[in-house]
Amino acid sequence: MSLAAGTPAPPVPQEPDDFASRAIKYIPAEVVAAYVALQGMLTSASGPNSVPSSVAWLVFLGLLVLTPLYTWRFTDVKGLTKPYTQVTIATFAFIVWVFALGGPFKALSWYNPVYGSILVIFFTLIPPLVTGKTT
């Protein structure tokens, strides 16, 4: 069966987001891209070019500071009724997302990737309780 000319195609059903995808939606894409690029550089540096784990912590902390600033300045939170709520959620989402990926946390003796997965699941349930909507 074909569609007549000018007839719009039926919408394609969307797959529901997994937990990590829902958490990352709160973080500005530029911050995510910066983290992925910097993490890739740190991971590829090995042997005599390897960098100390403190550099991974500095990258994480630097982007953690930039996340609320970037969210406030370059996203449309100023038009929201609760802009500080969105900025706070974006900042915590960044922490949760990096923790789930491992990032600098994987160098800690107590870190286990399962903890990150559990945290992401819980985190995706909290913002809708605060904002009243899901992503």
Give 24-52 pLDDT, tens digit per residue: 677 888 999 999 999 999 988 877 778 88
The mean of the pLDDT values for the chain is: 81
Residue found under tokens 């945290």: 119
129 band by pLDDT with thresholds 50, 70 and 90: confident
Please, is 42 exposed, middle or buried when counting C-beta atoms within 10 Å of its C-beta (0-12, 13-18, 19+)? middle
More confident residue, 110 or 28: 110
Could you give the CA distance from residue 116 to residue 102 in angstroms, rounded to a whole number? Answer: 7
User: What pLDDT does 79 receive?
Assistant: 58
**CA pair distance 125, 109, nearest whole angstrom:** 28
pLDDT in tens, 45-88: 877 778 888 999 999 999 999 999 998 888 776 655 578 888 89
- In whole angstroms, give the CA distance from residue 36 to residue 42: 10
92 has pLDDT over 80:
yes
